[in-house]
Structure formats: C-alpha cells, structure tokens
Structure 1
Amino acid sequence: MERHNLLYRLYDEFDAETLREYQSLVDLFPPVDSRVALEHWEDAGEELERLKREIREALPAGATFAEVAAYADREAAFTALDLHARYDRAVNALVLDVDETLRSAGGTDNEIPRETLHMLTELHDAGVPVVICTGQTLENVKGFMIQGLGNEIVHSGNFSIVYESGNGVFTPGHGSHTKRLLYEDLDEPVRGTFDAVRSRVLPDAPENVRRGCHLQGNEFNVTLKPNFETGGADAEVVIDDGLVHLIGLLGEVIVDRVSDGLDVGDIDLAARGAAWARAHYAAADPEIGEVIEATAVDDPAEAGEIPEPVAALFDRIDVGYYHADAAEITSLELDKVAGVEAALDVLDVRDPFLLVMGDSKSDLRVMEWVAEHEAGIAAAPEHASADVLSHVLDRDELVFARGQSATMLRTVYVLNLLARVE
C-alpha cells in the first residue's frame, strides 16, 4: 500500500511529465558538434537534476521514485506496480522477438527505434540479461544488434541470440558454450529430410516461385523469402505459391525416405506424399489450409489416410507461414522454447522470471512455457496474431502499440525499480 501512496504523491505533487521529457532529451539526443546544441543539452541536464532532487528530498526512497518518474508515465508506473503486487518478482531476463515486435515495418522503417535501443541498454546495464529470440539468421541479427547496441553489450557475456527459431544459440564470451548448434542433436531422419528439401526446393519449384523467391541463408531451417517488398501483393502471391510447393516437396521427400516401410499398392508415391503433406498441414493450421484450398489442388487427400511412418515424420516437422513474408519448415523438437532454455543455461539464469515479447505462433510457445512454469510475463504488439493477443490479454493485458516496444521495456524497468522499495 505504501508504494501505491508514494506513486500517487509522485504524479500528483511533482511535474513528472516535464522531468520525463528532460530525461528523454538527455538520453536520446546527446550534444552534437555545436555550441548551441551543447548548451541546450547541458541546460536540460541541470533542469533534470533539479527536478529529481526535489523528489529525492521529499519522498521516502526518493532516488528510486525520481527514476520512476524519469522513465514512466502514470499508467506505466501503476501497471508496473500491479505486476509486482501480482508476482512479487523482478524481471531477471528479457526474451525478445525482433520483427514486428522490437521493430515494425509499418511504423519504424524496419529499424529498431532509438528509444527501444536505449531502454535495452538501461536494462542491460542494470544487470538484466538480454535474449534476442528470432527466426532470422545469426549473422543478420548479430550485425544489426551490434550496430544498434554496440559491440560492448553484444559481447558482454550477458547477451544471447536464439536464432532460426531455436536451432542455434549464440552467447559471446562463454568459451566453448558461445555457439551451441542445437540442430546437431537431431537424428538422421529429420536432418536428412531438411537436407533433401533444401537441395530441391528451388530447382524443383514452379517458375514463378523459382524466379520470385530466394532461400534465406539459414544453417538448418529451410525458409523461402520473396524477391519483392515484404507485405506487398507480389510477395503475397509468390509466398502462397511457395508455401504449397514447399509442403508438397516435403511430402515427396518424406515418402521417398520411408518408402520401404509403406504398403500402399501401385500408386504414384511422390504425388501421394505431396497430397498427404497438404492434408496434414492444412488440418494442423487453418491459415495454411486456406492457402492450400485457394490453389485448387486436384489430388486431395484426407489426414486420416496418411500411413503411420509418414505421419510420424510430419509430426516432427513444422511448416511456418508468414503472410506475404515467408514460408518455411522447422523442427518441432527445436523451437524457440528449446533455444531460450539453452540460452538461460549459458547465461546462468537459474530461477527465471522473464519478460517475453513477441507477435507470432513461435513466440506464443515461449509465452505458454513461461505461463506453465510461472516464470514470467508476456507482452505483444496490438497487431500480433489472434492467438498471441488472446494469451496476453488473458494473462496481464500487456499490449503495446505498433512501433512502441519501448513502452513495455519502460514498464519492466520501473517494475524492477519498485521491487527494490521496502
């Protein structure tokens, strides 16, 4: 109750909004090579210190509440306090998706906003490990994180990248554990299937897919990306066609690998494998089913007729569909949860209470794992998938606007500040 009373006093008695504006100016707009800019920045710093001093001198634990006012508006501060009252824990690691979460093509020119990068730096400097958890390749993620956060943070030993949706984990500064190739632990039927699909996916593709897509440079996953602007009409058409091709090829490869164990009579086994794959993945994901149905495939199959050896391999391989963005296959044994667990092990986070931020089905699995183990909280952008939003709204209602990922990071920063107050 004392914290609530102090927060009411903080936002009722002090000019927290002006304080926060000065903090943002000092943090985000450092002085450039200009005497006028330098003087303006120095004046802002002096005014910021004056406003903080007023709070420090007036309130119990005033230094902490001055920092609260500097980084959160009233709504965010009370949200943070409610989270602490509910869980009685500070967040001790961040697990963060990148695309359409930390950054958004619709609102931030596909760059991580400066404010988000700054809050990541503040949390990292406060001792909170950062785990970037993404479907992208390691080299791509490592490059833009070094560019955004700096080499010192990325190589601090308290920063990890779970890449390709959990197939590998990169945690610089940890010797032999720096890079863990989790996909190497998969058995030959799965690894061999991925190798065969990768070698055939473009050479065997219809002409529009072969010309309109490229393979993302993954170590393990097989991901088709459009040669057109992501989200555009051309990308939508070619990714939909690419998805149907990828699923059909996966079926062909799998029946070829298990053909000795099949008793299906005199049929075109490759064509039947493609039909079985379409039936299996359409039943597993309604969105994929809609794409397959729209292609008017003339050799339908029923999921219930798939032979057990074929279905067993289908059950180990996931197909991902990202509208007008990508089509891919991944291992269900190596999802983002597996990658996060490996990253936390390397970072020595033994009793995790995580902030998980994401927008897609792969992120939802991490959120559900966290909920099941009472190991943190989940947040999502307002444009996240329906299943993700449903989960987040049912838990703590931590939904933020497009391009405003820093808002959630500020809330967690304040949650950790308030956790210090006796």
Structure 2
Amino acid sequence: MERYDQLYRLFADFDTGRLRAYQDFVDLFPPVDSRVALEHWQNASEELAAGKDEIREAFPDVGETFAEVAATATREQAFTALDLYTEYGRAVNVLVLDVDETLRSAGRTDNEIPRDTLHILTEFHEAGTPIVVCTGQTLENVKGFLIQGLGNELVHSGDVSVVYEAGTGVFTPGHGGDTKQLLYADLDDEIRAVFDAVRSRVLSEAPEALRRGCHLQGNEFNVTMKPNFETGSTQARAVIDEALVYMLDLLGEAVLSEVGADGDAGDAETADPETAGAWARAYYAAEDPEIRGVLEGTGETVDHDPADVPDPVAAVFERIDVAYYEADAAEIGSLELNKVAGVEAALDVLGIDDPFSLVMGDSKSDLRVMEWAAANDAGIAAAPDHASRDVLAHVVGTDELVFDPGDATDVLATIYALNRLARLDS
C-alpha cells in the first residue's frame, strides 16, 4: 500500500492541477513571433520546473517519476494507472490504436486528431513505446495525416506500423523488405476471384441513385462503399443502407459464379443470381444483428433459412466479412485478413515477442483485437462511450477504460502514468 499512500500524498499536498496546466501550456504552445507571448511561455516553463523540483524534494526515492505523473495525469488517471499496474504487474509496451471515432471524432474534434493526443503519442514514442495504427482506411490516407500530425521523422523511425484496410496490409517504414506486407496476396485464388468480381461490378452496375450517392474507397483489396454525403447524416444513412443490400446481392452472385461450375456444387449449379443474392442476405443477416436490422428497415428481408444455403456457397461466405458502419460505410473484406492478423504481422516486424498492448477502438473489427489481447494476456482495452454495444460490453467488463468522444488523451495519460509507475520497479 506504500505506493497508494504516496500517491494520496502527492495529490493532497501539491497543486497538481496547476502543474498540469503549466505542462500543457509549455507542450502545446504554438510557435508565434511575439516577445510578450514568448515571455509568458518562459515564465510558465520556470513555474513548471519549480513545481516539479518541489515534488522531487518531497519524494526523494520516487520524485522524478511522481513529478512526471503529476504534470501529466489527473488524480483519477494516476490511481487508475496504479490499479492497472497492481492488476497486471507490467507496463504497456505497444499502443494499438484505431483512428476514426477513436483518436479523432467528428462530434468533438471536427474529425481531426487533437493536438494534446498527438503530443502524448510523441511522448510515448520518445519513451520507446512502439505505435501500431490499426484502421480501415487506405494506406495513403493514414500516411498523410500521421506525417502531418506526428512528423515525418517519427513516422519513419522504425517504431511505427500501420495496419490498413482493416488488416489487408501492413506498412512499417524502416524495415527493409518487410516495410510493406500485402497480406491479401497470400489468399487463395477462389477468394481473390470473388473480390475481383465484386470490385469490377460494384459501381458500374449499381443503380443510378446509388452511383450518385456513393463512391468506392480507393482500397488495395477490400471493397468499401462510402457516402457522398456528410458522415452520420440522414442522407448518408439511407444511401449506405441501400449500398449494403446491393453489395450483399452482388457478393452472392460472385460466389455463385465461382463455385457454381464445380461438379460437386449441388444446388449452386442450377441456382440463378437472384437466389444467390437471397442466400447472401439470409446468411449475413443471421450472422450480424446490424445487417438484419438494415434488411428489416429497408423491407429487403428474404424468406430463406440460412441452413438452406448450399454448403459450397456457405463455405465461401464463412471466409468473407460483410461490415456495416451506420451512415458511414458498407464493406466486404476477408475474415482471414482482419485487424488481428494485421496486428500480429506488425508486432512481428517490430520485434515485439511478448506484447502487452493498449488496444483502443470503437467497432466490431477493433473488438476482435481486444478479444485477442484478452485471450492471450496481451493487453488491455479502451473505447469511446459511443462505441458499439459489444465493444462497450467488453471494455466495461474488463478494466472500464471508457472515455468521452474525442478525448483519447484521457486513457493515453492513464497508460503513460502506468508506464512511469512500472519503471519504479524495473
């Protein structure tokens, strides 16, 4: 209990709120050409140094660590950090971070990663903690905003990896021949043929209203339809719901075409495209309540039992993921290339043999990584409070690391404090 008693004393005897304010001002002060502003920054720096010195003197054995904790974390964050260290007995040695609606949120941050979040990520980097950005976005999009926000030197340091398109590829600059790994290239011909067929037809054969209302995201492998309306709007919701139904039918037809010529394909040999689309709707509605809800809401449910889907067709469906992101995207991806596969590949390139990660995310694809971490004693999970129901259930059921939209810094500051406290016993 000694460490808890020391923390109680730290936050009871010192004005840590004032110290954090000085630290934030010093760290986030924008470069300006103003003598008055620069004098203000200098005064804040001196006050910060003096406050840290007082803490160092008051805690001779742990003063440096406590000064950093006090200047970074609130009382609640610091005690949560100590609770986590007491529970797990180790520091977090890699960050696994989703981007959209996790690091940034359209509701709170104008869809930009906040400056304080970017700054604390640089602090983790400087402390030697690798960062794995794990997203459904394209590689070029991710590279662009990472370099803009974190700087080219950090992104190309060799300690940053990008799992893009929800696990179809991994990009880890500075690792020679392992810098870019195209995981989808290892899929067998049957699955790749299905994706090629869907991608070639998804826009050219779409109904006119859908072609006007959607665009195809520039993925290397996944097929993702995005709205030509503001994400989250009523128009975006309507067009993505329509896109989901259309893509299910198209997927059914592509799978039928691939397996129907097989002499052992059974009913698939004589089925027509409409029946194949109905099989896809029935199968994925049974697999995902959100998809079932969209089909019901649009009046597009089918009178088919998923058990009646021919085995050769169902066997392909079992390998393909259909994802629905309300008012944001409808996507077809490979279940063999989910974010877990991408994270494992990234950790291998980064040389992290015994990961203990912080996994932050909000969607079903992030939940798979969280469950992988929990099953392998490989980390802890955190999510914004608007995350999907299943994600929140997992996070609340483990360490309750739930944060407000756009405030990923809350959890990151907690983990930063955890890592500082863990160093006291190393």
Please tell me the TM-score bracket, short chain as reference. Answer: over 0.9
2:138 pairs with 1:140: no
1:293 lines up with 2:296 in the alignment: yes
Q: 2-side partners of 1:45 and 1:235: how far apart?
A: 47
List gaps (5 residues or longer) in structure 1.
Answer: none
Give the aligned residue type for 2:34.
S
Alignment match, 1:277: 280
Please list, as runs of the form range in 1=range in 2, the aligned pairs for 1:2-81 lying within 5 A after superposition. Answer: 2-59=2-59, 60-81=61-82
Distance 1:106 1:143 in 2: 22
Query: Are positions 1:307 and 2:300 aligned together?
Result: no
Q: CA deviation at 1:264?
A: 2.9
Take 2:19 and 2:269, find their aligned partners in 1: how far apart are those partners?
Answer: 78
Partner of 1:379: 382
Deviation at 1:268, TM superposition (A): 5.1
Contact persistence 1:30–1:41 (CA under 8 A): no
Identity %: 66
Once the two structures are TM-superposed, the CA of residue 301 in structure 1 deviates from its matched residue by 1.8
Give the letter for the 2:319 counterpart: R
1:304 offset after TM fit, Å?
Answer: 0.9
The answer as to whether partners of 1:356 and 1:367 remain within 8 angstroms in 2 is yes
Matched ranges for 1:197-276 at <5 A: 197-261=198-262, 262-264=265-267, 269-276=272-279
1:407 aligns to 2:410 (yes or no): yes
Map 1:97-116 onto structure 2 (within 5 A). 97-116=98-117
Native 8 Å contact 2:249 2:278 kept in 1: yes
Partner residue in 2 for 1:418 = 421
Give TM-score scaled by structure 1 length: 0.98
**How far apart, in 1, do the equivalents of 2:122 and 2:371 lie?**
27
Residue type matched to 1:57 in 2? E
In the superposition, relative to structure 1, how do residues 204 and 3 fare at CA in structure 2: closer, same or farther (>3 Å)?
same
Q: What amino acid is aligned across from residue 54 of structure 2 in structure 1? A: E
- SS of the equivalent of 2:218 reads coil
CA contact (8 A) 2:295 2:301 kept: no
Cα deviations by residue, 1:132-172 (Å, 9 ceiling, x for unpaired): 00000000000000000000000000000000000000000
Match of 2:391 among 378, 388, 395: 388
Q: In the alignment, which residue of structure 2 is the partner of 1:157? A: 158
Q: 1:353 aligned to 2:356?
A: yes
Change (3 A) 1:298 1:148: closer
Amino acid of the residue matched to residue 387 of structure 1? D
Kindly report the root-mean-square deviation, in angstroms, between the aligned alpha carbons of the 2 structures: 1.1
The C-alpha deviation readout for 1:67-103, integer Å capped at 9, x for no partner, is: 0000001000000000000000100000000000000
**1:31/1:41 contact within 8 Å kept:** no
CA separation of 1:266/1:366 partners in 2, compared to 1, >3 Å: closer, same or farther?
closer
What's the TM-score once normalised by structure 2's chain length? Answer: 0.97
Partners of 1:55 and 1:380 in 2: how far apart?
33
Once the two structures are overlaid, the 10-residue window that deviates more, 58-67 or 27-36, is 27-36
CA contact (8 A) 1:224 1:239 kept: yes
Where structure 2 has 5 or more consecutive residues not aligned to the other structure, the ranges are none
Alignment length (residue pairs): 422
CA distance in 2, matches of 1:222, 1:263: 28
* Alpha carbons of structure 1 residues 266 and 296: separation in structure 2 relative to 1, 3 Å: farther
Q: Does 1:196 align with 2:197?
A: yes
* Superposed displacement of residue 34, structure 1: 0.2
CA distance in 2, matches of 1:104, 1:140: 16
Corresponding residue SS for 2:261: helix
Cα distance, 1:298 vs. partner?
A: 7.4
Deviation larger for 1-10 or 409-418: 1-10
Q: 2:233, 2:327 within 8 Å by CA — same for their partners in 1?
A: yes
Q: Is the 8 A contact 1:275 1:299 kept in 2?
A: yes
SS in 1 for 2:190: helix
Question: What is the alpha-carbon distance in structure 1 between the residues aligned to residue 327 and residue 268 of structure 2?
Answer: 39
Residue 82 (str. 1) matches residue 117 (str. 2): no
